[in-house]
Amino acid sequence: MSGVESLPPLLLEPKFVERIWGTADLRPWYDHVTASGKMPIGEVWLTGDECIVASGPLTGKTLGTVFAEDAEAMLGPAAAERMAGQSPLLLKVIFAKEKLSVQVHPDDRLAQKYGQPRGKTECWYALAAEPGAEVAAGLNPRVTLEEVERGVHEGTLEKSLTLLPVAAGDLVYVDAGTVHAIWPGSVLLETQQNCDLTYRLYDYGRPRELHVAKALEAIRLQTAAGKVKPIELADRTILVDREYFCVERMEIEGSRDGAGLALPEEFLEGEKSALSYLFAASGSGKISAVDGQSFAPVSLPKCGIAAVPASAPGWRIDATGVLELIRITPRWPKA
């Protein structure tokens, strides 16, 4: 990356997003209680374009601005050209007290048909789950689009959904075109393409817009959605490694060098980005410079996230006690 200025790891401030189906009290995950009479919080955006950098020389800038101004430093040259100055992934923590809408997201082709840069493939990692927690991911076998449309109008769409029990540590993959719904009972770390296009099919009588025609256009009756079997390696668990993102879980005691966190080559199926996000699912840590490099240490609290740019100097992470670290890396399909 000759000629590109180095950027240190960046701590990001979460953005608390109100949702009608959300939760008033986010403790113990975040020290946030919604005041009486206010809309509850349903999503905590970790890498949204409006999230603020909270460490280092870029403190106070939004993440969207950082990508627009320093795309090559953040992503590396090939990925920066592909993303045209935009952030590739939106990461969220989902807190659902009520059922979300039954919905579907468009793929890249359909999103671009309607003037958007990309669609939305996503996955959910269960940080916690109550007994009996479920999500819906996909349609039952042999369900037709006509039956989906009839279920929307008759209020019986849930009968057509494939339900999955969810336990802490599960990873559910939801590719674009999958009819899906998140139900109460779990706290989910969502990794998705940086797109907030949602076509609602059914919303349990809430006074929100539905998008039935576009949803029916977006739906694929058979998708790859479902639980993903983790791949256990000596130093990490690969939760999912597919187009658009790779999600890994690591348990760290003591220190780990950043260079040692790189994935083995056999897992680099598509074009990789050198950008990664580090999320502290439990425990906390500190990111510091190594190998004669210099930047101010970055504290990573529980449920905090840091972006490690492609151009970052040498670094290591020191755990405070035991740190459950989730690392998320953008991916793209092979050309």
| ω into 330 cis (within 30 of 0) | no
Q: In whole angstroms, what is the distance from residue 168 CA to residue 91 CA?
A: 18
Element housing 122 (H / E): strand 122-129
C-alpha dist (Å) from residue 188 to 93, 208, 254: 6, 23, 27
CA dist 266 and 155 (Å) reads 47
In the block, tokens 């790189």 appear at 262
Please say if 200 is a catalytic residue: yes
Reference 159, options 184, 188, 179; nearest CA is 179
Buried-state track 45-78, b at ≥16 Cβ within 10 A, e below 16:
bbbbbebbbbbeebeeebbbebbbebbbbbbbee
Contact assessment for residue 51 and residue 62, using Cβ atoms and an 8 Å cutoff: yes
- Catalytic residue of the set 27, 82, 118, 200: 200
Residue whose C-alpha is closest to residue 264's, from 301, 233, 310, 229 = 233
Instruction: Catalogue the active-site residues.
Output: 200
